Amino acid sequence: MGGFTKRYKVHQLVWYEIHATMESAIRREKQLKNWKRNWKLDLIEKNNPTWKDFYNEIV
């Protein structure tokens, strides 16, 4: 069995956040996990309306 990206055929990084500590990153991840799907889509659309792939910018 593959990971999340393989299972759900995810091929683009359209949203990421940088955090000062691992604890704040985990806290934010748990917060976002409880969001409704349309809230997450709105977050992406607001900050990345063209759904640009950021992968090459952070590697």
One pLDDT digit (tens) per residue for the chain, 59 residues: 578 889 999 999 999 999 999 999 999 999 999 999 999 999 999 999 999 999 999 88
End-to-end distance of the chain based on CA atoms, in angstroms?
A: 25
Sequence-ordered list of residues with C-beta below 8 angstroms from that of 53, at least 6 positions apart, any chain: 12, 13, 14
**How many angstroms separate the CA atoms of 22 and 3, rounded?**
21
| pLDDT at res. 9 | 92
| pLDDT at res. 53 | 97
What pTM value is reported for the model?
0.79
| pLDDT at res. 10 | 92
Neighbours of 18 (CB within 10 A): 7
| pLDDT at res. 34 | 97
